[in-house]
Amino acid sequence: MDIKLVIDDKIPYIREAIAKITPRAVYKRGADIAAADVRDADALIVRTRTRCDERLLAGSRVRFVATATIGFDHIDTGYLARAGISWANCPGCNAASVAQYVRSALLLLQRDCGLSLPGATLGVVGCGHVGSRVCGVGRELGMRVLVCDPPVGAPGYVGMDVIEREADVVTFHVPLTEGGPYATRHMADASFFARLARRPFLVNTSRGAVVDNEALKSALHHGLVRQAVIDTWEHEPLIDTELLSMVYIGTPHIAGYSADGKVNADNMAIDALCRYFGIENPGRIVPPPLPAGFCYSGDPLQLYNPLDDSARLKQRPDLFEDLRGNYPLRRESWEG
**List 253, 324, 330, 331, catalytic entry:** 253
Task: Tell me whether strands 144-148 and 249-250 are parallel, antiparallel or unpaired.
Answer: unpaired
Instruction: Give 249's strand partners.
Output: 229
- How far from 318 is each of 47, 220, 315, CA to CA, in Å? 20, 23, 9
Task: Note if 253 is an active site residue.
Answer: yes
**List 49, 103, 129, 207, catalytic entry:** 207
Task: Note if 207 is an active site residue.
Answer: yes
Task: Note if 16 is an active site residue.
Answer: no
Strand boundaries in 52-184, DSSP class E: 64-67, 86-88, 121-125, 144-148, 169-172
Q: Which residues contact 296 (CB under 8 A, 6 or more apart)?
A: 302, 303, 334
The distance of Cα 67 from the centroid of its chain, to the nearest Å, equals 13
Query: Please, where are the H alpha helices in 84-128?
Result: 95-113
**Based on the number of CB atoms within 10 Å of its own CB, is 222 exposed (0-12), middle (13-18) or buried (19 or more)?**
exposed
Alpha-carbon span 65 to 79, nearest angstrom: 12
**List 51, 236, 312, 321, catalytic entry:** 236
Alpha-carbon span 54 to 67, nearest angstrom: 16
Peptide bond into 237 cis (omega under 30): yes
Alpha-carbon span 256 to 305, nearest angstrom: 13
The distance of Cα 281 from the centroid of its chain, to the nearest Å, equals 26
Rg of the chain in Å (alpha carbons): 20
Residues designated as active site: 207, 236, 253
